[in-house]
Amino acid sequence: MTRLFNDPIQFADEMTAGFAAAASRWVQSAPGGVVRATEADEPTVAVVVGGGSGHYPAFGGLVGTGLAHGAAMGNLFASPSANQVYQIVGAVERGRGVLLSYGNYAGDVLHFDQAQERLRAEGIDVRTVVVTDDIWSAPKHEAHKRRGIAGDLAVFKVAGAAAEAGYDLDDVERVARHANARTRSFGVAFTGCTLPGAAEPLFTVPEGRMAVGLGIHGEPGIDEVDVPTADGLADLLVDALLEERPDGAELAGARVVPLLNGLGSVKYEELFVVYRRVHEALASRGITVVEPEVGELCTSFDMAGLSLTLLWLDEELEQLWAAPADAPGYRKGTVEARRRAPSVTAAAPDANVPAATAASRETALFLATALEAVADAVASAADELGRIDQIAGDGDHGIGMERGTRAAADAARAAVDAAAGARTTLQRAGDAWSDRAGGTSGAIWGEMLRALGRQLGDDERADGERVATGIVAARDAVMAFGKAQVGDKTMVDAIVPFSDRLAHLVSDGRPLLDAWGDAADAAQAAADATASLTATLGRARAHGDRSLGTPDPGAVSFALVCRTVHGVLAAQKEN
């Protein structure tokens, strides 16, 4: 279990600060994560990686010469926000374009894509290569849906070496895609990991059994089998990966890089015992092993487990894999000394608040009060939301909602104190929610608040009709943004009936308080009904029917927010 922490909500921030201080030879803190502490004489394509914290040396530990230029570091098991990615790119981009690379998780895709759109709008050439190496997370014919695990290192290393060698952006992107297409991984676990402050691990495995096909965010395995011997496990991993080898890759004469990755608490000695057999099994099939790596490459806190990755080489990939690299968590060969890079400082927050009417400022005050009540309600429910999420996910929904709602409430109160109207207040609250929560839900709630704010404006009174229109706009924005539909077992299952019911009742002339209460009941009923659904999107998708009987945590938290806001509306009327 994780024993050493202060406030669990501050764990990722404090960890990042300590890491940057300890690794100052290689990295420096920057808004959103870390960037290189040194720089080359000539600018290169910038490689920016990222993901949730809790996976060291991924992702900050892979920033350095010959590897990444910067890493956007999210909260525990939660993607960095779009703003974090944007800020890291801003700190390292030098005019030759940027490659973004990260594991293929829904929250990461949403946030990195948002940042990419914003950067492209500013004239910066940005490309993306998502890592999809985990063979167990989707069938071969849906390889584009597979998630990224320890194969991240192979792709990042190839891309970083290409940038270091002076490749242009087209070719850095090309070799990164090529490396991803030729990388396969497979993992197992004997126990789950425990997040800071949690009393129980995110999943458990019966004595003598092991979870097969796990992710790196504490998700339970997709299957469960008896624990084999070390040799038996090595054979299981090798056989599965060779069966999934890239199209056209022959065994005899192949040159392959094996990466045997410890997930957190499997000792190096155990890994070496397993690797002994991995090496033998590959050689027995006529495969030449090239510069293998054994150790902790992409972890999951204290998870007892391991994964095997195979990178199938060609001449170019082999040269790039063998190239020198010098980062806190990964070193190869010898690199030339570099000069110290200038310090990166955070931009001052925008102090300009658009003018707003008295009516809109009154609405903004209500919104700030409502968000504070929501933050309190979510804090009380965080443990239960986490428990629901860990059934088929990674268990971080509660802590993510707690971080996001508290940040949104603080931002809204600051906006109100600066005389902001409803639109500006919701814009800043949405940005703060997205920035602090990260993950899929952070991106979605940020988008909802911003969409609602655009409808309310800074100069109009927020009557029932305008509020209902804003909720419909928020619903439409979320469905377009996250691509979810009713029935996918996501927050959308509660958002749609809520927005539809609210719009219908308001159009019939019902007062906002009554209409909101009725719609909140509809949202709660819909959230409860998700217990009978099988997830078809997100991390829970890979676990099939495991979540049957348990409601979707995003839908449950949405219903909680709706009920809480109704309570604030009722209190306002009484006063």
**Residue 63 DSSP code:** B
DSSP string, 328-376: TTEEES-----EEPPPP-PPPP--------HHHHHHHHHHHHHHHHHHH
Q: How far apart are CA 63 and CA 55, in angstroms?
A: 14
Structure tokens at 115: 């940042």
The alpha carbons of the chain give a radius of gyration, in whole angstroms, of: 24
Contact 62, 40 (CB under 8 A): no
Start-to-end Cα distance in the chain: 48
The answer to whether 541 and 477 are in contact (CB under 8 A) is no
- The answer to whether residues 187 and 307 touch, using CB atoms and an 8 Å cutoff, is yes
Catalytic residue among 55, 217, 397, 543: 217
Give the pairing of strands 304-312 and 255-262.
antiparallel
Is-contact 300 282, C-beta < 8 A?
no
The two three-digit tokens of residue 301, written as one number: 């806190």
Q: Tokens 């395995």 label which residue?
A: 221
What secondary structure letter does DSSP report for 96? S
Contact between 129 and 177 (Cβ < 8 Å): yes
Q: What are phi and psi of 110, to 5 degrees?
A: -60, -50
On whether the CB atoms of residues 187 and 150 are closer than 8 A, the answer is: yes
- Contact (CB, 8 A) for 523 and 494: yes
Query: 342 is written with which tokens?
Result: 């200038």
The residue count for the chain: 575
Give the DSSP per-residue string, 452-509. HHHHHTTTS---HHHHHHHHHHHHHHHHHHH---TTSSSTHHHHHHHHHHHHHHHHTT
Question: At which residue do the structure tokens 């458990």 appear?
Answer: 204
Please state, in angstroms and rounded to a whole number, the distance separating the CA atoms of residues 261 and 307: 5
Distance, in Å, from the CA atom of 445 to the CA atom of 257, rounded to the nearest integer, reads 41
Sheet holding 70-76, edge to edge: 27-30, 33-36, 70-76, 46-53, 98-103, 126-131
* Partners of residue 189 on adjacent β-strands: 211, 305
Question: Of 234, 189, 237, which is closest to residue 211 (Cα–Cα)?
Answer: 189
* Residue 217 annotated to the active site: yes
Residue 43 · residue 163 · CB < 8 Å: no
Nearest to 397 by CA among 213, 560, 192: 560
Catalytic positions = 217
